Chain A
Amino acid sequence: MLASWKQLIFQILLLLVSCRHINTTSPDPTPPPLVPIDSLPRDVRRAAFKGEGQIEKVELLNPVNLELVCTWTGHQNKESNITGFWRKDGLEIENSHLTVQLENEQYQLQQVFNIVSEENLGNYSCVFESEVKIDFVVAVPQIGEIRDKPVVTYVGDSGVITCKMEDSKPMPNTWKWYKANGTDKEEIFAAAEPQRYEIKNNERKTKLLVNNLTMADSGLYYCGAVYTLSTSMGHVELKVITYYEPLKPFMAIVAEVFILVTAILLFERSRSKKNDTEGDMMSDQTNTLSPGENNGLEGSSSMRQRKT
Chain B
Amino acid sequence: MPPAAATNLGYTPPDGGWGWAIVVGAFISIGFSYAFPKSLTIYFKDIQEYFAVSYSEIAWVSSVMLASMYAAGPVSSILVNRYGSRPVVMVGGVLVSTGMVLASFGTAIIHLYLCIGVIGGFGLAFNLQPALTIIGTYFQVKRPLANGLAMTGSPVVLFTLAPLNQFLLDSFGWRGSFLILGGIVLNCCVAGSLMRPVNKKALKKPEKTEPPECNGGAAEEAATVDTITQSDNLTEENQKESKSQGCVNRFIDISLFKHRGFLIYLIGNVVMFFGFFAPVVFLAPCAKHKGIDEYSAAFLLSIFALADMFIRPTTGFIGNTKWIRPRIQYFFSFAVSYNGVCHLLFPLASEYTGLVVYAVFFGFAFGMLSALLFEVLMDLVGAHRFSSAVGLVTIIECGPVLLGPPLSGALVDIFGDYKYMYYACGVFMLVPGIFFFIMHYFNYRRLDKERGQIVAVDVRTCEEAVELKTNPDDKAAHDTDE
CB nearest to A300 among chain B residues = B10
Contact of B10 among A154, A162, A252, A296 (CB under 8 A): A296
Contact of A154 among B175, B180, B193, B209 (CB under 8 A): B175
A297 and B204 contact, CB distance less than 8 A? yes
Q: When chains A and B are docked, how far (Å) is the Cα of A260 from the Cα of B190?
A: 6
Chain A residues with CB under 8 A of B193: 260-261, 264-265
CB nearest to A278 among chain B residues = B202
Interface residues on B, range: 35 or more
Chain B residues with CB under 8 A of A151: 46, 173
Chain A residues with CB under 8 A of B182: 250
Q: When chains A and B are docked, how far (Å) is the Cα of A241 from the Cα of B202?
A: 56
Contact of A253 among B172, B184, B194 (CB under 8 A): B184
Given A153-B173, A253-B184, A290-B207, A247 and B179 contact (CB-CB distance below 8 Å): yes
Q: Is B472 close to A, CB under 8 A?
A: no
B183 and A253 contact, CB distance less than 8 A? yes
Chain B residues with CB under 8 A of A289: 207, 209
Given A152-B172, A154-B173, A264 and B194 contact (CB-CB distance below 8 Å): yes
Chain A residues with CB under 8 A of B175: 154, 157, 246
Q: When chains A and B are docked, how far (Å) is the Cα of A253 from the Cα of B170?
A: 19
Q: Is the interface of B mostly helix, strand, loop or mixed?
A: helix
B176 and A162 contact, CB distance less than 8 A? no
Q: Is B216 close to A, CB under 8 A?
A: no
Interface string of A74-104 (1 = CB under 8 A from B): 0000000000000000000000000000000
Chain A residues with CB under 8 A of B184: 253
A300 and B200 contact, CB distance less than 8 A? yes
Chain B residues with CB under 8 A of A298: 8, 10
A245 and B207 contact, CB distance less than 8 A? no
Interface string of A278-308 (1 = CB under 8 A from B): 0100000000011001011111101100000
Chain A residues with CB under 8 A of B171: 152
Interchain nearest-CB distance for B110 vs A (Å):
18
Interface string of A125-166 (1 = CB under 8 A from B): 000000000000000000000000111111001001010000
Chain A residues with CB under 8 A of B190: 257, 260-261, 264
Interface residues on A, range: 35 or more
Contact of A297 among B10, B194, B199, B202 (CB under 8 A): B10
A268 and B172 contact, CB distance less than 8 A? no
Q: When chains A and B are docked, how far (Å) is the Cα of A132 from the Cα of B205?
A: 93
Q: Is B5 close to A, CB under 8 A?
A: yes
Q: When chains A and B are docked, how far (Å) is the Cα of A106 from the Cα of B182?
A: 70
Using a CB-CB cutoff of 8 Å, which residues 182-220 of chain B contact chain A? Answer: 182-184, 186-187, 189-190, 193-194, 196, 199-202, 204-205, 207-209
B187 and A241 contact, CB distance less than 8 A? no
Q: When chains A and B are docked, how far (Å) is the Cα of A265 from the Cα of B50?
A: 43
A296 and B3 contact, CB distance less than 8 A? yes
Q: When chains A and B are docked, how far (Å) is the Cα of A154 from the Cα of B50?
A: 13
Q: Is B473 close to A, CB under 8 A?
A: no
Q: Is B129 close to A, CB under 8 A?
A: no
CB nearest to A279 among chain B residues = B202
Contact of A293 among B180, B196, B208 (CB under 8 A): B208
CB nearest to B25 among chain A residues = A264
Using a CB-CB cutoff of 8 Å, which residues 249-286 of chain A contact chain B? Answer: 249-254, 257, 260-261, 264-265, 268, 275, 279
Contact of A152 among B8, B176, B180, B204 (CB under 8 A): B176
Chain B residues with CB under 8 A of A207: 49, 52
Which residues from chain B sit less than 8 Å from chain A, CB to CB?
2-3, 5, 8, 10, 46, 49-50, 52, 169-173, 175-177, 179-180, 182-184, 186-187, 189-190, 193-194, 196, 199-202, 204-205, 207-209
Which residues from chain A sit less than 8 Å from chain B, CB to CB?
149-154, 157, 160, 162, 207, 241, 243, 245-247, 249-254, 257, 260-261, 264-265, 268, 275, 279, 289-290, 293, 295-300, 302-303
A-B contact pairs, 12 of them (CB 8 A): A149-B170, A152-B176, A207-B52, A246-B176, A246-B179, A250-B180, A250-B182, A254-B186, A257-B186, A293-B208, A297-B205, A300-B10
